[in-house]
Amino acid sequence: MKIAIFYGSMTGNTESAAKTIAEKFGGAECFAVDAGSLTKMADYDLILLGSSTWGIGDPEDSWDVLLGDLASLHLEGKFVSFFGMGNQDGFGDSYVDAMGVLKEALSGSGATFVGTWPTDGYSFTESKSLENGAFVGLALDDDNQPGQTDARIAAWVEKLQSEVA
């Protein structure tokens, strides 16, 4: 199975998470997202999209300008999941909203969405990335829970491997 990670990172936290996820998958490819990288998505079986959430629920700038392009992708037969960085204490009313925004942009792509993540252990009031009581992907908070990032990534990667097997 060919796996790729596409991420937008302004401070380096999302990039660091992307590289850790790639290592856990045994060497998945990583791409800092831009218009050119979107054309590569169709070459992969499992596509992971990562973004931090900025302002009041906005995806990282690289993703924000590509939302329209995401909406036009055709990813039938592909698995897609999300991971997001956020600050649940400082922005608990828009925690990891970017994951939900990215998923919404891909809603008509034909992709199969995998990798939901439980909300247990988080403290927030609202998120656009919630569906059926779970996050649409892996929620990370290096500001308030940095000691949990590696364990969460390892468990999520194991979950994804099981879901797409």
Q: What is the pLDDT of residues 25-74, one digit of tens each?
A: 998 999 999 988 888 999 999 999 999 999 888 999 999 889 989 989 99
Q: What is the pLDDT of residue 131?
A: 97
Q: What is the pLDDT of residue 27?
A: 84
Q: What is the CATH number of the domain that holds 92?
A: 3.40.50.360
Count up the domains in the chain and report the number: 1
Q: Burial letters for 101-113: b for 16+ Cβ neighbours within 10 Å, e otherwise?
A: bbbebbeebebeb
**pLDDT tens column, 98-129:** 999 999 999 999 999 999 999 999 999 999 99
Q: What is the pLDDT of residue 64?
A: 87
Reported pTM: 0.96
Q: What is the pLDDT of residue 9?
A: 92
CA atoms within 13 A on the CB side of 14: 33
The percentage of the chain sitting over the pLDDT mark of 90, rounded to a whole number, equals 92
Distance CA 21, CA 159 (A): 12
Domain that holds residue 110: 3-164
